[in-house]
Amino acid sequence: AQKITQTQPGMFVQEKEAVTLDCTYDTSDQSYGLFWYKQPSSGEMIFLIYQGSYDEQNATEGRYSLNFQKARKSANLVISASQLGDSAMYFCAMSRHEGGKLIFGQGTELSVKP
Amino acid sequence: KAGVTQTPRYLIKTRGQQVTLSCSPISGHRSVSWYQQTPGQGLQFLFEYFSETQRNKGNFPGRFSGRQFSNSRSEMNVSTLELGDSALYLCASSSTTNSGRSYEQYFGPGTRLTVT
């Protein structure tokens, strides 16, 4: 069975600084996908970044990068130059190779301080 | 391109009633998934539909059902509502390859269901 663990229930970061949100996963699959989503207080889940298990390079999308360490089964999200609008819940998720069903972690609440 | 839309956005029902939630995916997306989000259980997968067929199913009782239409729009139904069904119900759609492999999922704003 697949499992996602996010050990940081809440985090604070100063505006303009970088922050790393931790995510570890467990799966017996050889091929899988890893995702990060942002959920503001409005409730909508916003897709941020994707990493395939066979991708050799870490994924990047603007200020977001995914630090993928396959041997350690970790997929940490790095947000550079934090902005006040980054304050939200962040969820790490994974799927099997064919996609579809997402397994989510419990989330990390990020607060950006001015 | 319009995003995923869900109706209604808010719903209040009484225990024992049934409810139907609707989801319109992004144009061209053929895979639609449903999730339940509660403070206690977090985000849990309900089911996924692809080309009008249920492809994956989560661990929910049979009171939870869904369907997908030929235009990829999807509905989920909850019968005999219980207080514990109060939650945010999120629908997500994704594009797929010809073989049916789906990519990242894009979520709608959700339907907040309150059961009293």
Residue among B35, B42, B105 whose CB faces A47 most closely: B105
Report DSSP letters for B14-70, one per residue: -TT--EEEEEEPPTT--EEEEEEEETTTEEEEEEEEETTEEEEE-S--TTEEEEE-T
Residue A1 has pLDDT above 90, yes or no: no
- The pLDDT score that the predictor gives to residue A103 is 96
pLDDT per residue over B14-53, tens digit each? 999 999 999 999 999 999 999 999 999 999 999 999 999 9
Return the SS3 of B57.
strand
Omega into A114 within 30° of 0, i.e. cis? no
Tens-digit pLDDT profile for residues A33-81: 999 999 999 999 999 999 999 988 999 999 999 999 999 999 999 999 9
Residue B31 structure tokens: 């895979």
Partner A contacted by B31 (CB < 8 A): yes
Question: Is the distance from CB of A107 to CB of A8 less than 8 angstroms?
Answer: no
The alpha carbon of residue B20 is apart from the nearest alpha carbon of chain A, in Å, by: 20
